[in-house]
Amino acid sequence: MNFEELQKAWQSHDAGAKVLIDADVLLKEVRRNQRNFRATIFWRDAREVGVAALMTWLFLHWAIRDRVWSLYLVAFACLGVGTFMVVDRLMQRRKQPASNDSLKACIETSLHQVNHQIWLLKNVLWWYLLPFAAALAIFIAAAIWRSRHVAATIGGLCVYALVVAVLYWGIYRLNQWAVRTGLDPRRQELERLLASLE
């Protein structure tokens, strides 16, 4: 059987012939799915930005109430992280693939998004963990320094540094695992697809 005969058999077969669709129920389902999707995105954004906003407010409130200058730094760090997340989310939203893009354009945009996610996870120390940890370190150092004990200040900072190092190492490893198992395979898959179109 040659290709033309295969094509003829294919075209004479109607994939939808034996399928009945209840359009009303389908429309209800489609709208429900769309609502759920929008709600998921909204609550994910609200959760991330909400936590940053809440922490900013808490530290700012604490700084004003107790007149502790170093707490302003912590509040500022929280605000910075929250702002970064909002700006990044808005910028990336503009670059989202449209479902009616050509396949090649869609792959390129998806690849850009995956690369950006990998960049975020690999650099989480710089844009998320370090600003907060540094501000908190200054706050702890200032608090202990006020007690006029140099040895206690150094000791306290050492303990803090150790705890932060262990915690951040764990977070770093977790992020590397997420990149290795979830994002890298996806990136490779998209790169292969793009290569097959070039």
Site residues (vs other proteins, CB under 8 A): 1, 3, 6-7, 9-23, 25-30, 32-34, 37, 97-107, 110, 192-193, 196-197
Nearer to other proteins (CB atom), residue 140 or residue 194: 194
With 0-12 / 13-18 / 19 or more C-beta atoms within 10 angstroms meaning exposed / middle / buried, residue 157 is middle
Nearer to other proteins (CB atom), residue 43 or residue 169: 43
User: CB of 181: closest distance to other proteins in angstroms?
Assistant: 13
Instruction: Give me the torsion for CA of 93, 168, 152, 78, rounded to 10°.
Output: 10
- Cα–Cα distance, 15 to 17 (Å, whole number): 6
Nearer to other proteins (CB atom), residue 7 or residue 83: 7
Tokens representing 3 are 């290709």
User: CB of 12: closest distance to other proteins in angstroms?
Assistant: 6
- Cα–Cα distance, 153 to 141 (Å, whole number): 6
User: CB of 60: closest distance to other proteins in angstroms?
Assistant: 39
User: CB of 3: closest distance to other proteins in angstroms?
Assistant: 5
Q: Which of 8, 6, 195, 48 is nearest to 107 (CA)?
A: 195
User: CB of 61: closest distance to other proteins in angstroms?
Assistant: 40
Nearer to other proteins (CB atom), residue 80 or residue 182: 182
Unique residue bearing structure tokens 């370090």: 130
Instruction: Give the length of the chain.
Output: 198
Nearer to other proteins (CB atom), residue 34 or residue 188: 34
